[in-house]
Structure 1
């Protein structure tokens, strides 16, 4: 039973590692962000960050939410490509400011999370 749980956990992590890959590849291949909304990416990213912070605050085991840092990293990468290809710098600037603010506020917490992940591996 324990082996089955470990398999389910690692398979979930592997799927989460590539879940945004088709979108990233499509944006890069088209060299256009048409059809991908920065607002929806920010909303999804915000939800992931809130959930991750909630789980961390209440000291849930890292294994229960380890896929969220992976999803957040993929969302950030996709958001950066979308902002790069949007070519509207007036529209892009607020997103970059918000993203920088979020990263600055969570920087210490992100390093703590990375150290915990390193200890698990």
Structure 2
């Protein structure tokens, strides 16, 4: 029974991650605007995902426990390009690429660098959610932010808490998913609140 639950959790997480950023991307394309989506939040989120992927790959974690990271990273890069384009900052794509590529290489120069960065990645990823929250609070407008994308993120964090507990039981990874679950829920609630407020105003 435990093995079946683990397979379901891993499989459903992968399926959710295959389309995780699709609703957000479609919302941006339909509106031809990145209103409500924080560029800084996306950059921090991408950094957090890259660190986690590097860490789990370096320590030879079971592939099903982190296979979604490359998929989410590709989707985040595409979203980032959309946001840069709609904000008129596409020329910044090359410097960001250079920074992320050099960071990817430097992470495994020393084991302690990777371990330290993985511990910090929870703070980096948490900061990405807090930046998005601050952006929503300042504008009081959820704009083109996709509630579906945030809902899927909540689900994947919940399933990853379970799969981490029954496979690696890595406290660093577990704490990260618990923190992300709480913050993703907060962002979703804020998006829904401002969407409701905007409709009342209209």
TM-score (norm 2): 0.47
Deviation string 1:8-62 (CA, Å, 9 cap, x unpaired) is: 2111100111111111111001101121111110100000000111111111111
Question: Structure 1 residue 48 and structure 2 residue 49: aligned?
Answer: yes
CA distance in 1, matches of 2:103, 2:41: 21
Structure ID, larger Rg: 2
Task: Give the 5 Å matches for 1:19-30.
Answer: 19-30=20-31
Alignment-derived partner of residue 99 in structure 1: 97
Gaps of 5+ in 2: 106-202
In the alignment, what sits opposite 1:35? 36
Q: Which residue does the alignment assign to 2:108?
A: none
Size of the aligned set, in residue pairs, is 104
User: Residue 32 of structure 1: SS of its match in structure 2?
Assistant: coil
2:82 maps to: 81
Cα distance in 2, alignment partners of residues 100 and 30 from structure 1: 30
SS in 2 for 1:35: coil
CA-based RMSD of the aligned residues comes to 2.1
Secondary structure at 1:33 match in 2: coil
Within the alignment, does 1:6 sit opposite 2:7 as a pair? Answer: yes
Q: Distance in 1 between matches of 2:82 and 2:98?
A: 15
SS class of match (2:94): helix
SS at match of 1:59: coil
Where has structure 1 moved over 6 Å in runs of 4 or more? none
Displacement of 1:100 in angstroms is 4.3
1:4 deviation in Å? Answer: 3.3
In structure 1, C-alpha distance between the alignment counterparts of 2:55 and 2:44, rounded to whole Å: 16
Distance 2:104 2:53 in 1: 11
